[in-house]
Structure 1
């Protein structure tokens, strides 16, 4: 395990204020590729990543989510394909695996963005149906996260973690 990876995990934080500077397309591509490399149940990879740079679309997404997201130069909407997982794993795949898989992809992209000096935030507060309509997402798919990306206005420290390790770890011998 590299020190850089541990540092990224420990120092990454949610960013909600961004500079207007554009993010180079190759950098966005590398961030998306890190999402694509996430583990998934049965290696199904039930995700799609919608990259939104259009200001009108960002504005519409902000109206059915958190208003501040429209100020990010890029939004990545993580979409889960429930049918893909359901076909192989049934209800457990639909209710659990697809969410675990897309969460792993989302976390990979958050860490990758941090590694490139790009701020991000995991947004789950949005109207699913409105996002589907705005982006014309197929019926069998569902948006599960919005990731605003941009260079941070300020470099704040990560807030303190509230629970100690002993509060969250249960060792069974």
Structure 2
């Protein structure tokens, strides 16, 4: 992918809540998972991905995860091995570095989705225990974020306008550039 392609993908990228009623291929899910592994990671062995495409489990996810308000046929759940993270990163690493790594992995997933004709929806609203139970996660594996994955309907609703972000130069309060919402 060229730099221009990445820029175009960033402009097109948005959260989707409507997906086609067809399963995501295993190959596409593998490519999405691969993309997540290419994102920064503080240390090896900390990140775990749970790839879910079982229709029954997906239906249950919609019932127990309040933020899962879409009809995606699959999801990828980024998890952290908190024991391994503490061993290699210390307590602060478990609470800081792993969250940053989870966000980077989700960004990679979203960009890979663009190349595969897939849409994503990042979901963070849930009961920790519900996710643990749904995915049979052991106590030391913490669910960080869920990314719903599916083929976008041919004519999705128009993308919402972006959120405004303030850019500061050298110190807070000195305007670097006024960014318009896009």
TM-score, normalising length from structure 1? 0.89
Which residue number in structure 1 is paired with residue 12 of structure 2?
11
- Write the distance in 2 (CA, Å) between the matches of 1:91 and 1:73: 36
Which residue number in structure 2 is paired with residue 171 of structure 1?
169
Q: Is the 8 A contact 1:8 1:114 kept in 2?
A: yes
Q: CA deviation at 1:89?
A: 2.0
- Bigger relative contact order (CA 8 A; separation at least 6): 1
- Write the distance in 2 (CA, Å) between the matches of 1:162 and 1:99: 21
- Write the distance in 1 (CA, Å) between the matches of 2:45 and 2:104: 10
List gaps (5 residues or longer) in structure 1. Answer: none
- Write the distance in 1 (CA, Å) between the matches of 2:68 and 2:47: 25
SS in 1 for 2:122: coil
List gaps (5 residues or longer) in structure 2. Answer: 172-182
- Write the distance in 1 (CA, Å) between the matches of 2:62 and 2:5: 33
Which residue number in structure 1 is paired with residue 53 of structure 2?
53
Aligned residues: 168
Alignment CA distance shift 1:67-1:38 (3 Å): closer
In terms of fraction of residues, the more strand-rich structure is 2
TM-score, normalising length from structure 2? 0.85
**Residues 15-48 of structure 1, C-alpha deviations (whole Å, 9 max, x = no match):** 001111222211111111000111111x325221
Q: Is the 8 A contact 2:68 2:123 kept in 1?
A: no
Q: Is the 8 A contact 1:11 1:157 kept in 2?
A: no
Alignment CA distance shift 1:106-1:67 (3 Å): closer
Q: Is the 8 A contact 2:128 2:143 kept in 1?
A: yes
RMSD: 1.7
Mean Cα displacement is larger for which, 116-125 or 56-65?
A: 56-65
In terms of fraction of residues, the more helix-rich structure is 1
Q: CA deviation at 1:112?
A: 0.6
- Write the distance in 2 (CA, Å) between the matches of 1:108 and 1:39: 10
Mean Cα displacement is larger for which, 82-91 or 124-133?
A: 82-91
